[in-house]
Structure 1
Amino acid sequence: MADALDGRLLVASPALGDERFARTVVLLLHHDDDGAFGVVLNRPLPVPVESVLPTWQEAVAAPGTLFQGGPVGLDGALGLVTIPDGAELHAGVSRLAGPFGVVDLDADPGEGPLGVTGIRIFAGHSGWGAGQLEGEIAAGDWYVLDADPADAVTPQPDALWRRVLRRQGGALAIVSTFPEDPSLN
């Protein structure tokens, strides 16, 4: 499976037992034999970017808040960018997987075009040790799906879980209608 998951989405199945990841959509930025690293795309925080990184407020995609990228390293920030094919990148931007990359948040976003189509800033990230993610996928905790660059900077992150599942069609479209609390059915 190794690097085949770079740039793909992990969409939490309703059976996932870890409440920290319930109904999440995780963009995997790196995956190899040593583990995996990504960010949760649909956990906006009620903290405007300007309260932490004021120079970046005008550059980020709506909503202009920080996002909780996962339970690891909450005291750090990661700037995720979407990059169009053939774009000339600013020195502070690095491509990671497909149309996704990171931006150096110590750089000044006003120093010229970054060569990106969207920016989102995450507090923390999601991480898995060697073999851990593969075990969770085999257990049915995650659906591994193709990412659309717009997923990373959607203005409606709260609807992302349902939208990604629905666009798959078939059984996964039906999963998108699964109630948050099945006991209320």
Structure 2
Amino acid sequence: MTPALSHTGRLLVATPLLTDPNFARSVVLLLDHDAQGALGVVLNRPTPIEVGSVLDGWADLAGRPPVVFQGGPVALDSALAVAVVPGEPGQAEPLGWRRVHGAIGLVDLEAPPEVLAGELGALRVFAGYSGWSPGQLENEVAEGAWHLVDAEPGDISCPEPERLWRSVLRRQRGPLAILATYPDDPTLN
């Protein structure tokens, strides 16, 4: 048996067929994907809650908009943070940051923010996460619910998260780029 291909660090882009309100038109960054399942955060679901109102010291490091994002429907009472650290893999990683893929990594919110202040290029805080049991994500992709595409570091801190779904699709080649023009409600055409 060959090991499953890991999609850690890639994006899941919801197809128009995915109508679950938690994931419709969502862009999910996969933080972990292996034989035990997958875990990610939705990059384009900002909440009205300011980072500074729930996490002391982290507001100045948060990208724009400086709000908490809903990472998914699981464990909404927990927070995790993702940040970009410029530089090549192989260099010493900053204390309180763990590389996920490329320049993208997880931030330890228990670490003092001032330790990471000069290291982070972009930071996003999420309440909750998205999770899939073993084989569930692969089945959803095979059924046409998701497109798997490469992430870019700027996706983490997109200043206009409501445009991220279209933006990610637009930069793809072929038929995926055309999906960026798909209307919000196709019945109105």
Q: Is the 8 A contact 2:96 2:116 kept in 1?
A: no
TM-score for both structures, normalised by structure 1: 0.95
Tell me which of 148, 151, 164 is aligned to 2:155: 151
Q: Percent identity?
A: 51
Matched with 2:45 is: 43
Matched with 2:104 is: 100
1:6 positional shift: 0.6
Aligned length: 185
Alpha-carbon spacing, 1:138–1:165, altered in 2? closer, same or farther (3 Å): same
Matched with 1:183 is: 187
Alignment of 1:79-158 (within 5 A): 79-86=81-88, 88-111=92-115, 113=117, 115-158=119-162
Q: Which structure 2 residue ranges, 5 or more long, are not aligned?
A: none
Alpha-carbon spacing, 1:176–1:74, altered in 2? closer, same or farther (3 Å): same
RMSD: 1.5
Alpha-carbon spacing, 1:55–1:141, altered in 2? closer, same or farther (3 Å): same
Q: Report the secondary structure of 2:83's partner residue.
A: strand
Matched with 2:13 is: 11
Separation of aligned partners in 2, 1:122 and 1:134:
24
Q: Is the 8 A contact 1:62 1:153 kept in 2?
A: yes
1:85 positional shift: 2.6
Deviates more, 1:162-171 or 1:22-31: 162-171
Question: Which structure has the highest helix share of the two?
Answer: 1
TM-score for both structures, normalised by structure 2: 0.93
Q: Report the secondary structure of 1:159's partner residue.
A: helix
Tell me which of 53, 66, 69 is aligned to 1:67: 69
Separation of aligned partners in 2, 1:128 and 1:141:
13
Structure 1 runs (4+) deviating above 4 angstroms are none
Deviations 1:82-132 (A, max 9, x none): 122335432111112222111111121113545321111000000000000
Q: Report the secondary structure of 1:179's partner residue.
A: coil
1:48 positional shift: 0.4
Q: Is the 8 A contact 1:12 1:143 kept in 2?
A: yes
1:36 positional shift: 0.1
Q: Is the 8 A contact 2:61 2:117 kept in 1?
A: no
Q: Report the secondary structure of 1:29's partner residue.
A: strand
Q: Which structure 1 residue ranges, 5 or more long, are not aligned?
A: none
